[in-house]
Amino acid sequence: MIAFCLAVLLLLITPGPGVLSTAGVGAAFGFRAGLRYVTGLWIGTNLVALIVVSGLAAIILANDWARYVLLILSAVYLFYLAIRIALAGRRIAFISASTKLGLRAGLLLQLINPKAYAVNLTWFSGFVLLPQSLWLETLLKFLIINLIWIPIHLLWLMAGNSVNRLDLSPRTHFIINAGMAAAMMVVVALAIFSLL
């Protein structure tokens, strides 16, 4: 169970569309407005988990053509995010929001977020916690995921909310941007490698 909790934590804290946009909404609109967006992300995350657990994702991904197309699109999308992060310049590379984003925007982002499907497939198929009861294991995994997901996203929201008050040097901005971009590029490389 410790390995599962660690996997959930590590996969949630890495930069992806959900956490980056959460920080961006926090920076643009503040903590209170960001809570509506995070609520949408949370609903979307749990819907994606249900899609994975129900087998619908497996049915779609069983088709080689669909799996390759989705993997290529996901890799391209993640590469795009990495480039945006790397080229962000002096500012920390949170994805900024130009219009107020609410519950619906968060929900829709998670439904198209390739990272959400990938991590849920990993969590629900890669770890066996209670082999004698699939239902109990699934419920336990939902509970653990949500107990880790909620504080992680609230921390990203608070980070975005407070980013404007930080007076970081250009070098520090560069190091943060380069590190975030490098993490995204590793994900892209792994996705491309899996196609070979």
Q: What is the pLDDT of residues 7-29, one digit of tens each?
A: 888 888 877 778 877 887 777 77
Enter the pTM of the model: 0.72
The reply to whether 195 falls in a domain is no
Where do runs of H (alpha helix) occur along the chain?
2-13, 17-29, 31-54, 56-62, 64-86, 103-112, 114-126, 134-162, 170-195
Which percentage of the chain shows pLDDT scores above 70? 72
Q: Please say whether the beta carbons of 85 and 180 come within 8 A.
A: yes
In the chain, how many domains are there? 1
Q: Would you state the structure tokens that stand for residue 118, as one six-digit string?
A: 């990938």
Structure-model confidence comparison of residues 150 and 57, the more confident one: 150
**Residue ranges making up the domain that contains 20:** 2-71+94-168
The reply to whether 40 falls in a domain is yes
The reply to whether 79 falls in a domain is no
The reply to whether 191 falls in a domain is no
The reply to whether 87 falls in a domain is no
Q: What is the pLDDT of residues 86-143, one digit of tens each?
A: 665 555 555 554 556 688 888 887 887 777 888 888 888 888 899 899 899 999 999 9
The reply to whether 83 falls in a domain is no
**Whether the predicted pLDDT of 75 surpasses 80:** no
The reply to whether 27 falls in a domain is yes
C-alpha 138: how far from chain center: 20
